[in-house]
Each structure stands twice: as structure tokens, then as C-alpha cells.
A and B are shown apart, each in its own frame.
Chain A
Amino acid sequence: MSFPWANQYQPKSPFMQWVDSRLPVPRLVYNAVGAGYPVPRNINYLYNFGVLAGVALMIQIITGIVLAMHYSAHITTAFDSVEHIMRNVNSGWLIRYIHMNGASFFFIVVYIHIFRGLYFGSYKAPREMVWMLGVLILLLMMATAFMGYVLPWGQMSFWGAQVITSLFSAIPLVGDAIRTWLVGGFAPDNATITRFFSLHYVLPFVILGVVILKIWALHIPGSTNPTGVDVQGPQDTLPFHPYFTAKDGFSLTIYLILFSAFVFFMPNSLGHPDNYIPANALSTPAQIVPEWYLLPFYAILRAFTLDFLWIPAKLWGVIAMFASIILLFFLPWLDTSRVKSATYRPLYKKFFWVLFFNMFLLGYVGAMPAEEPYVRIGQIATAYYFAHFLIIMPLLSFIEKPLPLPNSIAESVFAKSGKKPVTVAAAPAAAQPAPAE
């Protein structure tokens, strides 16, 4: 794992030596997120979002465990127990608002993290597995967030569950049976809320497990960097601790300031007011919308209005919505350009920004009612989404002429400042050009 010039763990106190020789957990931590992990020295602030996502996950798990102590998963008491948390539990409002807005901020951080990966080509060899585990985490997050949104059993919880679970009924022949099996009945009811609660509690720990696998996989080749040039020697890296723990610590405080602004001063601005109305199966809301972070995919779901190739429009929508995320698994093989960073890919860079803007457009259309001109805008934006990944990216690899790459990370860093590289490594004798994979 990692590079041969990585610092080695050398416990100083006899106690830590005793522990390390029997259970090398301190060594594991040291190599994973300590001084034993060499990181490209030129990574920018966009590379801090992985750590921030880990923090967001832990905030969700901790506040969620406390909420579960006071929450009651039953259709007759769920809404009341949430209000009990808000009004009677000591600081219950704080815990719940942190959990509620924490989900949104988790998605903000993860989306920035994904776009960073797209821009700097983090999905390319040899990091395909890191990328695929990340897509798996995204899928698990969406399932977890959706089920969590159902738990307060407000109007949007109920009708959101109704709409999303009915997607499965679009599958030919077995769709209705699958839907009934998933929901535990013909409509969302008590059987739904209890199973969603159970899954909402367990899936975050599954996510945590995948996160550990992802970090494991990441530490074999190490992080990418804004130049996309591979690490060649100790002059290109710095130990994770203290250099990047200090940088992450600073970015974490900025994150917490923005997060607190929402939690304390506008806690409900990212939610839907209808979810403060208890669920009522007899009263359909004027417009059913998911949480903001699922809106782009909701827009893709609704973009298909035509029964095409004997497949009904509804099934097209469902296929497209799942395909829009599943295709990300294949991204490492769709983009064959050897150059990782978009900085040196003039054409890809333009399309990247079109995709970035396109996602906001899809999110906007997802929040709007299904009427003109939103339907047409949604169709064109969805078409671009699929064209970007499935058509444009594979073609770009052939057409594009990338700009010349810098010779090394160290050279790109010190070309600007004109100084000599300062190496922070334990054993300069072990400086070999290739990473030990």
C-alpha cells in the first residue's frame, strides 16, 4: 500500500509498542489518515470534500441514533413523536434540525466531490474501483435519504413514498407484485414506515462500510491531483498529517459555519412546508416533489412523454432514471482519454461546464410543475445528460488534442514560486519512481 517513501509508524512509548505488536490499530490509523499516507502536494481545496463527506456521514449517524431514541415508527404516532422531539425533548429541535439539514449538506458535499472527480478524471485507471464504490455510496445515500424523508409521516413523506414506490409498478408483468412486496401492502401504510425505519437505521452503517472499502482502495494508488500527472517521487508528496489534516481542519470550520447558518437561522428553507401537515391518504398535495437533492433525477424520470419502441413512457422514465446513475459505474471505460485533468483537455473542459450547468437546469425543471415550457426544457436537458456520458465523452477521447502536461507535480508547483522543492519524507534512500501497488 502507498508509496515506498511513506513514513513508517514508530511508536515511542513502551505502551504503544506493546499495543502495536499485539493489535496494530494505531499503525492502521497512522497509515490511513496519519503521517504514513503521502498525498500529492498540489491538491486544492476541492480535494477537501472527501473528508467533509466523512464528517457529514458521522454527524448524520450520531444525530440519527439520538433521534431514534425518541422517535416512534408507527403511522399513528410518527408525526407526533417528531413534534415531541421538536417541543419537549431537551435540545431535540437542535438534533432534528442538524439531522434534517445535515442530509442536504451531505448531498451538497458529495455532489461537489463527484464534480471534482469528473473534472480531474479521478475515475480513470488505476482508480476505477474507488470511483465505482463512490457511485455505490451515492445510490445507498439516495435510498437512505428517501426512506428518512418518509419517517416523519407528513404529507410529502406519504405522497413521496407513494410516487417513488409506484415506479416499480412500471416493470412489465411483475411490477405490481414487486411494488406490493416493497411497500408491504397496496399503499404506504404501517408496514411501510416500520421497514423504512429499519432500513434507514441500518443503511448508514452499510455506507460506512463501503466508505472504509473506498479509503482502502484509494490508498493503493493515492489521490489524484489537479495536474493529473502521477506521483513520481517523494518531492511530489506531503504526509497527510500534519499538512492535510491542518488544511482539512480549516475547511471543516468553513463548512460548519455554512451548515450552522442553515441549522440555526433558516432550518426549514431546504424542506417542503407540506411535510408539516400530517399524512392524509385522502388529500393529494397540489404538487408532489422530492427533496432538492433528488430533483435532477426526478426531472429525468418525468422527461419521457412518448411511448417509444413499444415501451410505455412511464417505463422509459424509470429506466432512464436508474440508467442515469448506473452509467456512472461505466464511466472509467466510456472515457478513454489518457489525460486525467480537464485543465489539459480544452474540449472536455467546455463540456464539463455544460454538464455542470445542465444539472442545475434539471434540478430546476424537477421542482417545476409538469407543464410547458418546463417539460421541453427537461427533455432537452435529459438528452444532454445521456449524450454527455454515452456519446460525447467516448468521442472526445478520439477527437481532442490535449495540452502538454507538466513533467511532474513538483515542477508544476515550484515553477510558479521559483523555489526548490522541500521534501518531507522519512527515507530518501527509498525514492523509487513507481508507486508500490
Chain B
Amino acid sequence: MVRFIGFGAGLVFVLALIIGALMPREATVEDPIKKIHLYPRHAQLSHDGPLGLGVFGTFDRAQLQRGYQVYKEVCSACHGLQRIAFRNLGDLGFTDAEVKALARAAEVPSINPQTGEPATRPALPSDHLPPPFPNETVARLANNNALPPDLSLIVKARPDGQNYIYSLLTGYDKPVPAGHDVPVGLHFNPYFHSVNIAMAKPLNDGQISYADGTEATVDQMAKDVTTFLRWASEPELEIRRQTGVATMIFLFILSILSFLTYRKVWANLK
């Protein structure tokens, strides 16, 4: 009985699918954007470690600090980093006193203890980095109706995130292909999913002066800020890799011992 019902049901399913597969398809118009769009190119970053495997690499502290400088002087005009607190900046190699000074330079909303009225106060290390715009409406008004995304998780929130950020930041100089019209108010960038991005070219050679004397080329700044944003997305990256290597060594030894145990237990049988 089960077999007869099953056989019938199977035939119906197969028939519905085969007829569906044989039906002619409407001619699809190929999206011209797909031909122009480019996949991210590889950013050679030091924290990916030997061969870029991402097993042993640690962040270059000087690069992280340069990246923070790029974020602070360029990106932070439009992009927030709301999941990062000033205290987290200690990870970049800043001393406690430097972290306190960085925090004090920023103003955060507060309440006047005497009057209860809204007020501001200098930030503490426990405060998060203040957002550039108070809300989405203000942000869109200031940016031609585009919303600059928060960057706290940007590397994890984009496919191939690290290479994508690097490619996007260095992709503005690509020539616009013939026949492609860039809408008014947008900018051509082949690494962006729609190739027309609202963000204007953010980085230009020599735009900022690094404290450590590194030459501020677009490529250098893009690499630095990409490294910084990788840290912002994955602050646990170094401890994760270190724990991972130790775990692997432990498990490798354990697997050898358990294999020898297995052989020993079975030895009298084979």
C-alpha cells in the first residue's frame, strides 16, 4: 500500500517538475551592471600572517593607530563606530593616559545634575565613540538621502569584507566604462554592488599627516583603515588565533594518544 501511494505521489512530483523544466523561459535581459562590477582584489595585510592563512598573524600596533587616525580624521565625519568604547582603544597600543585624553576630547550627551536639563560632558573611557549624526533623518539630510552605515561590524557584514573595504577605498580612480551613465550625486566605483556609490572619494594622497612619518598614499591609508576596521569588527582576533593554535597542539597530541590507545585495546584481536 505504501509503495503504491508512494509510486503515485512520486510520479506526480516528477511529472510536475519535468513539465516545469521543459516549459520555455521568458527571455531574460542581462543586467549590464554585472559586467562592470568587479570582485574585491586581494589586500596584502600583515595581520593575515604567513601565506595569508590567518592562523598566526597579529595586528601591527602602529598600523592600527594609523588606521584609527584615518577613521577619526576622515571616516568619522559620516560613519559611526558605536560598538567601540574608548577603553577598547587600549588594544591599539595606546596607554591608559592616552585613552583618557582621547576620550576627554569628545563630548557625549549628559544631564545637568542641577537642573535636569539635557547637557554634554567630556567622554570617559567607558563611553562609546559618539555617532556623527543624532539620528537617521539628520544623516540622510546631510548625505543626499544616503545613510552612511555604522562601521563597527563592516568587515564581517560584507562578503570578503577585508578585501572589499580595501578595494572600495582604492577603486575610485577606475575609468567609467563607455556607455555607463553615473547618476547625478553618485560616484563610480566598480567594487560597489551597484557600481554607483553615494560616498564621494574619501581618500587622497597626502590627505593626512601620520605622526610616525609614514607616507600617506591612498593605498597606505586604505590598508591602515582596513586593518583598523578589521580590529573593530573582530577585537578578539589575536586571542582567538592564539587560543586556536594552543587548542590544535593539544588536540593533535590527544589524537595521537587516543589512536595509540585504540590500537592497544584492539591489539589482541587482530
Please indicate the chain B residues that have their CB under 8 angstroms from the CB of A309 in the complex. Answer: 12, 16
CB <8 Å contact, A260 and B13: no
Residues of A within 8 A of B243 (CB): 94, 264
Q: Give bound CA distance, A193 to B58, whole Å.
A: 37
A86 to B153, CA, bound (A): 11
Q: Please state if A253 and B255 are interface contacts (CB–CB under 8 Å).
A: yes
Chain A 390-426, CB-CB to B under 8 Å as 1, else 0, gives 1100100000000000000000000001010010100
Minimum C-beta distance from B25 to chain A (A): 6
Contact (Cβ within 8 A) B251 A260: yes
Which residues of chain A come closer than 8 Å to B14, judged between CB atoms?
383, 386-387, 391
Among the stretches B71-79, B173-181, B183-191, B261-269, the one at the interface with A is B261-269
For chain B, residues 191 to 216, give those with C-beta under 8 angstroms from any C-beta of chain A.
193
**What is the total number of residues of chain B having a CB less than 8 Å from a CB of chain A?**
57
Given A265-B55, A417-B270: A390 touches B265 (CB 8 Å cut-off)? no
Residues of B207-245 whose CB lies within 8 A of A: 233, 235-236, 240-241, 243-245
Q: Which residue of A lies closest to B147 (CB)?
A: A283
Q: Does the CB pair A304–B262 fall under 8 Å?
A: no
Whether the pair A94, B83 counts as a contact (CB closer than 8 A) is: no
Cα–Cα distance between A323 and B8 once the two chains are bound (Å) = 13
CB distance from A111 to the nearest CB of B (A): 22
**Which of under 10, 10 to 19, 20 to 34, or 35 or more describes the interface residues of A?**
35 or more
What A residues does B93 contact at CB under 8 A?
Answer: none
A-B contact number at CB 8 A: 157
User: Measured between alpha carbons, how far is A380 from B13 in the docked complex, in Å?
Assistant: 11
**Do A306 and B19 touch across chains, with their CB atoms under 8 A apart?**
yes
What mask results when residues 79 to 101 of chain B are scored 1 for a CB within 8 Å of chain A, else 0? 00001000010000000000000
**Contact between chains at A422 and B268 (CB < 8 Å):** yes
Q: Is B148 an interface residue (CB 8 A)?
A: no
* Alpha-carbon separation in the docked complex, A392 to B19 (Å): 20
A41: chain B residues within 8 A (beta carbon) = 269
| Chain B residue at minimal CB-CB distance from A249 | B258
CA distance A290 to B149 in the complex (A): 24
Q: With A266-B54, A387-B10, A422-B268 known to touch, is A250 a contact of B20 (CB < 8 Å)?
A: no
**In the bound complex, CA of A260 to CA of B55 (Å):** 12
CB distance from B149 to the nearest CB of A (A): 8
A409 to chain B, nearest CB (A): 13
Pairwise interchain contact B255-A250, C-beta atoms closer than 8 A: yes
Q: A379 on the interface (CB 8 Å rule)? A: yes
Q: Cβ of A266: which chain B residues have Cβ within 8 Å of it?
A: 54
Chain A binding surface SS class: helix
The stretch among B39-47, B62-70, B106-114, B155-163 that forms the contact with chain A is B155-163
Smallest beta-carbon distance B270→chain A, Å: 6
CB distance from A132 to the nearest CB of B (A): 13
Cβ–Cβ contact A250 & B258, under 8 A: yes
Determine the distance from Cα of A269 to Cα of B206 in the docked complex, in whole angstroms. Answer: 36
* A267 neighbours in B (Cβ, 8 Å): 240
A389 at the interface (CB under 8 A from B): yes
Q: How far is the CB of B85 from chain A (nearest CB, A)?
A: 9
Q: Which residues of B contact A197 (CB under 8 A)?
A: none
Q: Which residues of A contact B15 (CB under 8 A)?
A: 308
Residues of B within 8 A of A247 (CB): 262, 266
The residues of A that contact B159 with a CB separation of less than 8 Å are 273
B6 touches A422 (CB 8 A): no
Which of A139-147, A158-166, A175-183, A326-334 forms part of the interface with chain B? Answer: A326-334
- The closest CB in chain B to the CB of A259 belongs to B251
Interchain CB contact under 8 A, B21 and A83:
no
Among candidates A249, A303, A304, A387, residue contacting B261 with C-beta atoms closer than 8 Å: A249
- 14 other A-B residue contacts (CB within 8 Å) besides A265-B55, A380-B17: A246-B258, A249-B262, A253-B254, A260-B244, A264-B241, A264-B245, A264-B248, A265-B244, A276-B233, A303-B20, A372-B28, A379-B21, A383-B14, A386-B9
20 CB-based A-B contacts, threshold 8 Å: A83-B153, A246-B261, A246-B265, A249-B258, A252-B258, A257-B248, A260-B247, A277-B153, A303-B20, A304-B16, A304-B20, A309-B16, A313-B20, A323-B9, A323-B13, A333-B3, A382-B17, A386-B13, A390-B11, A424-B269
Residues of B at the A interface (CB closer than 8 Å) are 2-3, 6-7, 9-21, 23, 25, 28, 53-55, 83, 88, 149, 152-153, 156-159, 161, 193, 233, 235-236, 240-241, 243-245, 247-248, 251-252, 254-255, 258-259, 261-262, 265-266, 268-270
